[in-house]
Structure 1
Amino acid sequence: MNTIRAALVETYGEPPRYSSILEPHPEAGGEVVDVLAVGVHPVTRGAAAGLHYASPDRLPMVPGVDGVVRRADGSLAFVIARDTGTLAERILLNPARAIPVPGGADPAIVAATMNPLMSSWVVLRARVPFTPGQSVLVLGATGNAGSMAVKVAQHLGAGRVVAAGRNRARLDALVDDGADHVVPLTSDLEATGTALAASAADVDVVLDYVWGAPAEHAMRAILSARTDPAQVLDWVHIGSTGGDAIALDGAAIRSHALRISGSGFGSVSPSVYRNELPDAAAAVASGALVVRPRRYALADVEEAWAHVDEPGERTVIVL
């Protein structure tokens, strides 16, 4: 039987190896496509390490949760993997999960950008009733996904964007990317709460990439300072860099129009991705929303796995 080259995880906690697997074959409801570029995202690393809820129960596994592919008709598509990893020369694709990518787009840029972009894009387009002119707080704005969320909010018409994060230099740079106000998240909880209350008391949506204790303190500060407690505040949990749990006083929900939800694989249906991501891919292809790719060949996957991305950069395997 024919084989193809792929990355293969054989032991959790170790980087994938450059290896060979059986070549996929077309089957009813599926087509074989050529993989062009795959982003090495935090979720990709976490799933391959057995630390994510999307991690498979058995090894070996081909890592990769998404990628850019070329279909048989020559068109490009972005795919989100559900049943198979993407770090292989060819994969079996469910055509219903193919998001069109404009011809001429750089596959590596699309692969680097779509994952950090789509969390905020999907929230603002489909998970909450966001309308242009409303205000957005990005909590954890100095990571790749958080900094992209600032750009996405501005791109989708937010009237005001507040960026909060720990890296002061990165925060200051976000002013050029659409942030109207920046709030440093520091160990001084009182000063941080005062700053959040001053800048974000009446925001409409919070995109929370932090969660944990920092989100608890931010939530208390913002709710206590809201001008109108009946004004709806959509607080959307996306990431957990600050911890996996929060303690929430029930009075906060009874006394304020606070709606807490989450957004991620499982809570967002494939139909939402199909409907919302073509416009996101077009924005990436146009250059409006871009993360810089750090390119590696598939044969260098172990080196790629060891690379630590700089701000605004994402490791991408180019096939």
Structure 2
Amino acid sequence: MKAAVVREVGQDPVYGEFEEPVLREGEVRVAVTASALTNFTKVRATGRHFSVAPRPPFVVGIDGIGRMDDGCRVYFLFPRAPFGGMAERTVVASAQCIPVPDTVDDVTLAALADPGMSSWVALETRAELVPGETVLVNGATGTAGRVALQVARHLGAERVIATGRDRAVLDSLIAQGADAIIPLTDDPGRLTAALREEFERGVDVVLDYLWGPPAQSLLAATNARKSRSPLRFVQIGSAAGAELALPGSVLKATDLRILGSGIGNVAVGDIMRIIGKLMQAAATTEFFLDVQTHPLSRIGELWPAASVTPRTVFTVEAPA
């Protein structure tokens, strides 16, 4: 079968032949139609992700949309190595497949799965969002951050705040559900004042996709909170840096709970349950997504520059 294959450690995937998957007990076979490129997929393909990476040769892609042998259209997650989502066919544990609504197309569902899941998991299982609370999304101008604003609103957030560097995209988020925007400017005083104003007004949950200096500035402003309830700060991504300096005074000034959200602290069963909710929500809620599609046959030429913002989805043609 045709697939996007990493043949040696450190090499980009290429489009070529790979062995046909053979079913094992408890598995289903899926004829793949669409698989989105995610940061997880790109980093895991290099062997540098903290999760266990398969040894070459292997097929890239951690999830996708397709049809099982019985014709049921499904979303699937974490195929059995060395198989992956970017192939004509893959195999996955039956518990890691869920039916998807017929009213939403394959590309949209494939593109929505990762960013929608990351924010929904963070809000429901890590922050335990209560309807009526205020959510601040730090780094809301990327695909994941933009979807996070919409998911927060869908889950009952009364007020949603967005930060980001891309001013044009940031301005557009008002029409997509943001109540307030804060530009991440190079003027420390102006940024701190804007953040402190929002924390004084009241923030209950922070979803952080940036870490590094932007998160450090944000945490330094949390002492402006007047609420005695805990502020749940959920770290999801590290687009602005892998580390930050956290003064002890920040932890003493407010009831602050710093949490991570990822596959290391959320069970796969919980992830699948929430993706199921997300897929059904997509049938009744319009999530704004910037998506570009390409045939899987172009994986070799597009991989080095392929983007997660806008979300790149590779489509798979049915074999002749």
Sort the TM-score into its range (normalised by shorter chain).
over 0.9
CA contact (8 A) 2:35 2:63 kept: yes
Cα drift, residue 317 of structure 1: 1.0
Match of 2:77 among 65, 80, 83: 80
Of stretches 47-56 and 169-178 in structure 1, the one that deviates more from structure 2 is 47-56
Cα drift, residue 253 of structure 1: 2.4
Matches within 5 A, 1:1-319: 4-54=1-51, 56=53, 58-81=55-78, 83-84=80-81, 85-201=84-200, 202-221=202-221, 223-228=222-227, 230-309=228-307, 311=309, 313-319=310-316
CA distance in 2, matches of 1:174, 1:168: 10
CA distance in 2, matches of 1:162, 1:105: 28
TM-score w.r.t. structure 1 length?
0.92
Per-residue displacement from partner, 1:189-217 (whole Å, max 9, x unpaired)? 12111111112342000000011122111
CA contact (8 A) 1:67 1:111 kept: yes
How many pairs are equivalent? 313
CA contact (8 A) 1:304 1:315 kept: no
Per-residue displacement from partner, 1:107-156 (whole Å, max 9, x unpaired)? 11111111111111111222222111100000011111011111111122
CA distance in 2, matches of 1:173, 1:101: 29
CA contact (8 A) 1:39 1:315 kept: yes
Of stretches 265-274 and 51-60 in structure 1, the one that deviates more from structure 2 is 51-60
Per-residue displacement from partner, 1:248-267 (whole Å, max 9, x unpaired)? 23343234211110001121
Q: What letter matches 2:206 in structure 1? A: V
CA contact (8 A) 2:37 2:308 kept: no
Q: What letter matches 2:46 in structure 1? A: A
Q: What letter matches 1:71 in structure 2? A: M
CA contact (8 A) 1:110 1:285 kept: no
When the two chains are superposed, the root-mean-square deviation of aligned CA atoms in Å is: 1.8
Shift in alpha-carbon separation, 1:309–1:141, aligned structure 2, 3 A: same
CA distance in 2, matches of 1:292, 1:243: 24
CA distance in 2, matches of 1:116, 1:307: 20
CA distance in 2, matches of 1:13, 1:137: 37
Shift in alpha-carbon separation, 1:29–1:144, aligned structure 2, 3 A: same
CA contact (8 A) 1:40 1:305 kept: no
CA distance in 2, matches of 1:236, 1:23: 40
TM-score w.r.t. structure 2 length?
0.92
CA contact (8 A) 2:38 2:308 kept: no
Shift in alpha-carbon separation, 1:310–1:26, aligned structure 2, 3 A: closer
CA contact (8 A) 1:109 1:292 kept: no
Shift in alpha-carbon separation, 1:50–1:238, aligned structure 2, 3 A: same
Of stretches 247-256 and 128-137 in structure 1, the one that deviates more from structure 2 is 247-256
Q: What letter matches 2:51 in structure 1? A: A
CA contact (8 A) 1:15 1:302 kept: yes
CA contact (8 A) 1:135 1:161 kept: yes
Cα drift, residue 307 of structure 1: 4.4
Shift in alpha-carbon separation, 1:47–1:135, aligned structure 2, 3 A: same
Cα drift, residue 69 of structure 1: 2.0
Cα drift, residue 232 of structure 1: 0.9
Q: Which runs of 5+ in 2 are unaligned?
A: none
CA distance in 2, matches of 1:75, 1:125: 28
State the secondary structure of the residue aligned to 2:58: coil
Shift in alpha-carbon separation, 1:231–1:104, aligned structure 2, 3 A: closer
CA distance in 1, matches of 2:218, 2:280: 34
Cα drift, residue 318 of structure 1: 0.7
Per-residue displacement from partner, 1:145-196 (whole Å, max 9, x unpaired)? 0111111111222110010011111100000011000000012112111111
Q: What letter matches 2:225 in structure 1? A: R
Q: What letter matches 2:264 in structure 1? A: G
